[in-house]
């Protein structure tokens, strides 16, 4: 089943779908109507079409799983990620799933292989709120379990960031403070903040009280990152966005307004770290008896 899979280069990256409906059922989920891609496509067919697309398009980064959570069904996500890793690009994935040891081991293998090729694997752990998660994201692992994912990935040296999006109207700022502190304590590399989208009928935002929604600044946009280009309403309170960004920075966290920026940052950081690792033995060998002087 080929389905209507589409790809597009935007900001030097291409989004690759999982191709299967996600069962986590977050209330703000924009994937459920199929406007950003069909919900049932054979994984091999997606990979085949993507490789064909790659032959005629230049880009640096693959972002896997914008149409569903890649690890809702971990075997499928792991298989697709392994295959994408062979294509010699930077890759990111975003997930709310629990990453067990078996999956973490697969991610370590993928990460190590990509490092050999000079590419970077970036994990985005998705958290849009804290206490409210049990209402807004009722079928996902808890926020605390997702923070444990961050610790587990960091322990394995996989660059890991928090996708703090969508920023939800009506969620108290205190929840974002809890989330930011937990992420920083867990060692996340930074936070990607992002807007809330609603379709024409408001299906993705029905859980938000109307009076709160109408007061939230919004505008109609053609969604730039989607090859399917749906026209949706983008809710984004810039004053609140800056308030949350400042709060994170005061706590010592790094803020990005696009996941592409976070991936580029991780990739550059990795290159600098690698140069540092390469230099260390050379210094030691040049003068082995010389004590280190600051
Ligand atoms: S995890 Fe992502 S794809 Fe799955 S329901 Fe939630 S928002 Fe949608």
Scored b (16 or more CB within 10 A) or e, 60-85 reads bbbbbbbbbbbbbbbebbbebbeebb
Question: Rounded to the nearest whole angstrom, what is the distance from the C-alpha of residue 136 to the centroid of ligand 1?
Answer: 11
109 in a structural domain: yes
Please give the pLDDT value at position 278. Answer: 54
Ligand 1 contact via 95 beta carbon (within 6 Å): no
Q: What is the model's pLDDT at position 39?
A: 81
Do β-strands 231-235 and 218-222 pair in parallel, antiparallel, or remain unpaired? Answer: antiparallel
Give the Å distances, CA to CA, from 143 to 74, 135, 158, 193. Answer: 19, 12, 20, 17
Q: For residue 283, how far is its CA from the centre of ligand 1 (angstroms)?
A: 49
Question: Quick check: is 290 in a domain?
Answer: no
Phi, psi angles (nearest 5°) of residue 222: -85, 120
What lies within 8 Å, CB to CB, of 134 at 6+ separation is: 142
- Per the DSSP assignment, residues forming a β-bridge with 14 are 9, 62
**Residue 151 is part of which domain span?**
9-271
Burial class (CB in 10 A: 0-12, 13-18, 19+), 211: exposed
Pocket-testing residue among 22, 30, 197, ligand 1, by greatest number of atoms within 8 A of Cβ: 22
Tens digit of pLDDT at every position of the chain (294 positions): 456 799 999 999 999 999 999 999 999 999 988 888 888 899 999 999 999 999 999 999 999 998 999 999 999 999 999 999 999 999 999 999 999 999 999 999 999 999 999 999 999 999 999 999 999 999 999 999 999 999 999 999 999 999 999 999 999 999 999 999 999 999 999 999 999 999 989 989 999 999 999 999 999 999 989 998 999 999 999 999 999 999 999 999 999 999 999 999 999 998 888 777 654 443 333 333 333 332
Residue 30 lies in a domain: yes
* pLDDT of the residue at 3: 61
* Residue 293, in any domain of the structure: no
User: How many structural domains is the chain composed of?
Assistant: 1
Q: Whose CA is nearest to atom 8 of ligand 1?
A: 29
| 284 lies in some domain | no
pTM of the predicted protein model? 0.92
CA 217 to ligand 1 center in whole angstroms: 24
Q: Which atom of ligand 1 is nearest to the CA of 25?
A: 5
Quote the ligand 1 centre to 29 CA distance (angstroms).
Answer: 5
Question: What pLDDT, on a 0 to 100 scale, did the predictor assign at position 271?
Answer: 85
**Helices (DSSP H) in the chain: which residue ranges?**
43-54, 74-85, 101-116, 133-136, 143-155, 173-185, 210-215, 238-250, 259-286
What is the structure's pLDDT at 36? 84
Region of residue 225 (left: phi > 0; alpha: psi -120 to 50; beta: else): alpha
**Atom 6 of ligand 1, nearest CA residue:** 26
CATH of the domain at 213: 3.20.20.70
In a domain, 135, yes or no: yes
For the Cβ of 69 lying below 6 angstroms from any atom of ligand 1, the answer is: yes
Q: 223 in a domain, yes or no?
A: yes
Ligand 1 in reach of 168 Cβ (< 6 A): no
Atom 3 of ligand 1, residue of closest alpha carbon: 68
pLDDT at position 47 is 97
- What local confidence, expressed as pLDDT, does residue 37 receive? 81
In short, whether 54's Cβ falls inside 6 Å of ligand 1 is no
């Amino acid at each position: 089943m080929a389905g209507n899979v589409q790809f597009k280069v935007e900001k030097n990256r291409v989004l690759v779908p999982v191709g299967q409906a996600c069962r986590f059922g977050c209330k703000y989920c924009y994937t459920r109507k199929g406007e950003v891609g069909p919900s049932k496509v054979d994984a091999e067919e997606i990979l085949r079409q993507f490789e064909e697309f790659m032959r005629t398009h230049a880009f640096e980064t693959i972002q896997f799983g914008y149409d569903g959570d890649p690890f809702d069904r971990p075997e499928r996500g792991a298989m697709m990620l392994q295959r994408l890793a062979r294509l010699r690009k930077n890759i990111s994935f975003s997930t709310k799933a629990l990453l067990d040891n078996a999956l973490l081991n697969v991610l370590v293998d993928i990460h190590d292989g990509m490092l050999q090729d000079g590419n970077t694997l970036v994990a985005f752990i998705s958290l849009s709120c804290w206490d409210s998660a049990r209402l807004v994201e009722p079928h996902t692992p808890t926020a605390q379990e997702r923070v444990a994912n961050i610790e587990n990935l960091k322990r394995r040296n996989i660059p890991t960031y928090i996708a703090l999006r969508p920023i939800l109207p009506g969620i108290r700022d205190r929840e974002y403070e809890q989330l930011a502190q937990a992420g920083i304590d867990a060692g996340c590399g930074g936070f990607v903040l992002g807007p809330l989208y609603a379709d024409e009928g408001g299906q993705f935002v029905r859980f938000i009280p109307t009076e709160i929604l109408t007061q939230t600044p919004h505008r109609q946009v053609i969604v730039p990152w989607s090859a399917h280009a749906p026209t949706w309403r983008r809710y984004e309170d810039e004053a609140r966005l800056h308030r949350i960004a400042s709060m994170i920075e005061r706590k010592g966290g790094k803020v990005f307004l696009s996941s592409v920026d976070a991936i580029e940052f991780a990739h550059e950081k990795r290159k600098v770290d690698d140069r540092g690792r390469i230099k260390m033995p050379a210094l030691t060998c040049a003068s082995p008896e010389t004590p280190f002087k600051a």
